[in-house]
Chains A and B, each alone.
Chain A
Amino acid sequence: MSTITATLDNTALHGDTGTALRFITCGSVDDGKSTLIGRLLVDSKTVLQDQLAGVQRGGETDLALLTDGLSAEREQGITIDVAYRYFSTARRKFIIGDAPGHEQYTRNMVTAASAADAAVVLVDATKLAWAAEVEDGTVVKRELLPQTRRHTLLAHLLRVQSVVFAVNKLDAIGDAGLAFERISTALNAFAEAAGVQVAAIVPISALKGWNVATRHADWVGYEGPSLLELLEELPVTVQDEAVPFAFPVQWVEKFSASADTSQGRRVFWGRVASGHVEPGQRVTVLPSNQTATVAQVLSHTRQPKVVHAGHSAGIVLDREVDVSRGDWLLAPGAFEPVREITATVAWLDDEPLVAGRVYWALQGHRWVKAKVARIVDRVNITTLESEPATQLEANSIGDVVLSLQQPLAVLPFTQSRTLGSLVLVDTASHKTAAAVLVQPAAAKA
């Protein structure tokens, strides 16, 4: 068997074309997310015979059953938690996070979005008022569903690089062209008000496969690529390399004095949060404030290398300084550690956030106590306006001021994903309670 030649040909067909695109599908319940993913898997020939046989119901293929894998989900016909799916085309590999639509499971959508390069927000054309009324020309209220707005907003807040709207079930509407036009107008108006840049609005029928993997010609006046063609071209997340060097220490490896690789020194392992690291660079240690020079840099597999943001590195310093897990190595003078931060939080726990309470906060690999000094406001998902709040309930988004037990080097999340993100953990239940996105210091007085 001429293994090598054949492998190359097949790899080209099945796509090791670089970094996989991680995308999520989100939107409201029953907007057709599971069906869409089923369609992508079937049309890209990822679904295998036994799996397809498992979703036949009364002679019909129910694509949604390919993803709803928990018995509780099948009982209720809803998606509870993210299902991760893998498929590839000739051009690219994909990792899909199929996020649940129910408001109750928003935390699982946020989980999926935090790791995504792109979000496909599904909009069910048949659920909106104009869909039923366009035919007699009645003036209709252009209101998107709250979950469409919430998920778009969360994807935007979490800096998901590309937001794509897929307007689904248009095949079930009489004047699909007019409906698509009006829905597009409403989506664009909402996105503009929310400051969300829209990568594309694609009309689809997940059930029939129109514009999903292949284009459906001469339909609703849309001439762009199919959803899959679009996904093949979307960029992966850009690392925050323009920001000065910052490195959270994940693990300290101690070598015995006899180990020839390091002359008895310690290797600080972690993932470069921003900038890059190379020998000769000066670093300051937070919190000890000592300074040292980088003597050696190793790649994640222990090879000498210059390492850039987003990648793991092992760093050996030129002298013994006090560094432990949770500390940060920082470009000297580039960061001003703070004891108070203003942040946008997506509250995920069933126990509401209460001003005055102390939580655990995790940034990089560092745990500190954080007290909610005050709640600034809450976002009204419908109007996008800020409103006063005394607590933040599950699935709400708001701004808070946190005071920290120890200083942290932070940057606004818009500048650095790693320096600008924390999670809050309930000290009693140990549940992950919030995604925290640091705001620019002067944003909210």
Chain B
Amino acid sequence: MNARTETELLLPPMHSPARLSNTHLDALEEETVFILREVAAAFERPTLLFSGGKDSLVLLKCAEKAFGAGRIPYPLLMIDTGHNFPEVTAYRDQRAEELGADLIVRSVEDSMARGTVRLAHPGESRNAHQSVTLLEAIEEFRFDALIGGARRDEEKARAKERIFSHRDSFGQWQPKDQRPELWTLFNTRLAPGEHFRVFPISNWTELDVWQYIEREHVGLPSIYYTHKREVVERRGLLVPVTELTPPRDGETVQVRDVRFRTVGDITTTCPVESLAADAGDVVLETLSVDVSERGATRMDDMTSEASMEKRKKDGYF
């Protein structure tokens, strides 16, 4: 072990400020800003997918830095399942207004009314059907680039995703035939009807996101922090009790201290038990968790090993 000890002498001690620099977050932010500008410059009709969730709020923060406050050069697009947490919808609208951004909302319920979305049964999750509404919005506005807040650390299919992901005219991802992505020479050439999905925070992890939220004081919907909520325990998850997700026979409703690690469709998103009241607390929890963000919170991903991959092939972002 002599070699290692000698090298250690050359490095600053573990707790010195040099070792705790923000270099890593700065590098991630710089990469994200570079990509956001590339989209603004290379495409004619880009949009930024904005759900009001933490990843899209971090993206927006980076966009503010890239373009200056109030100058984001593309509209925000929200695909509304109609099954949203009210705190998230309210915060989404508030942020868009503060930024003076153009917010476009297209809803799965409208697609259902048009008959382009058919549910197998009334209680079915609308998550997968978002793809249909999304593709309809792309056609309506002729978007050629859609910026999303997906991260490669979220899920195995996401880990394979390019930063500039080419989609055919059906919005399909072709995982076996992705364009090589060399250096930062992004090939953004398109045929009519095709578009790109662009993921500027691909290289961020859940921990990076929370450390950035803490450092930059990024505001989030309140349900990301501890609150008391009625839940039932189901298959190891805490299922929130709402009008859309009532308790089943034999289940006991309990009030627990919880927060959401991720937000999405009410029918598929579960909170975790937590007392974390601010971003600093969440950073600490994230450092010590032993279940992944999706494993702890998403009912739909558990149904099939490849459900994310399948949805992405269908045009999901």
Chain A residues packing against B (C-beta within 8 Å) = 1, 3-4, 6-14, 16-20, 48-51, 54, 67-72, 74, 80-86, 90-91, 93, 95, 107-108, 110-111, 114-115, 215, 224-225, 229, 233, 250-253, 269, 271, 300-302, 311-312, 325, 348, 360, 362-365, 417-418, 421-423, 425, 430-432, 435
B204 shortest CB reach to chain A, Å = 9
Asked if residues A432 and B309 are in contact (CB atoms below 8 Å), the reply is no
Asked if residues A110 and B175 are in contact (CB atoms below 8 Å), the reply is no
Asked if residues B19 and A12 are in contact (CB atoms below 8 Å), the reply is yes
A232 shortest CB reach to chain B, Å = 9
Chain A CB within 10 Å, residue with most, of B27, B159, B203, B309? B159
Asked if residues B15 and A3 are in contact (CB atoms below 8 Å), the reply is no
Asked if residues B37 and A251 are in contact (CB atoms below 8 Å), the reply is yes
Task: Provide 17 A-B residue pairs closer than 8 Å at the C-beta atoms, listed in order of the A residue.
Answer: A4-B280, A10-B283, A14-B207, A20-B24, A74-B305, A82-B160, A111-B180, A111-B182, A229-B4, A312-B30, A312-B37, A360-B189, A362-B185, A421-B182, A421-B183, A423-B182, A431-B179
Asked if residues A312 and B34 are in contact (CB atoms below 8 Å), the reply is yes
Contacts of A1 in B (CB 8 A): 277, 280-281, 284
Q: Which residue of chain B has the shortest Cβ distance to A112 in the bound complex?
A: B181
Interface residues of B in 186-216 (CB under 8 A from A): 187, 189-191, 202-203, 205, 207, 211, 214
B252 within 8 A of A: no
Asked if residues A70 and B38 are in contact (CB atoms below 8 Å), the reply is no
Asked if residues A48 and B289 are in contact (CB atoms below 8 Å), the reply is yes
Mask for B274-296, Cβ within 8 A of A = 1, else 0? 00011011011001111110011
Alpha-carbon distance between A63 and B21 when the two chains are bound, in angstroms = 33
Asked if residues A300 and B29 are in contact (CB atoms below 8 Å), the reply is yes
Secondary structure call for the A interface = mixed
Given contacts A18-B23, A74-B305, 14 further A-B contacts (CB under 8 A): A3-B280, A12-B15, A19-B24, A48-B289, A48-B291, A54-B305, A69-B160, A86-B205, A111-B182, A115-B183, A229-B4, A251-B41, A325-B41, A422-B185
Alpha-carbon distance between A211 and B157 when the two chains are bound, in angstroms = 30
Mask for B141-158, Cβ within 8 A of A = 1, else 0? 000000000001101110
Alpha-carbon distance between A435 and B184 when the two chains are bound, in angstroms = 12
Known A10-B284, A50-B292, A312-B34; judge A107-B309 contact (CB<8 A): no
Asked if residues B284 and A432 are in contact (CB atoms below 8 Å), the reply is no
Interface residues of B in 1-49 (CB under 8 A from A): 1, 3-4, 7, 11, 14-15, 19-25, 27, 29-30, 33-34, 37-38, 40-41
| For the complex of A and B, 7 pairs with smallest distance between CB atoms | A69-B156, A50-B295, A3-B280, A251-B41, A71-B306, A430-B189, A83-B159
B61 shortest CB reach to chain A, Å = 11
Asked if residues A312 and B33 are in contact (CB atoms below 8 Å), the reply is yes
Asked if residues A108 and B178 are in contact (CB atoms below 8 Å), the reply is yes
Asked if residues A50 and B291 are in contact (CB atoms below 8 Å), the reply is yes
Q: Which residue of chain A has the shortest Cβ distance to B151 in the bound complex?
A: A86
Alpha-carbon distance between A25 and B104 when the two chains are bound, in angstroms = 42
B52 shortest CB reach to chain A, Å = 24
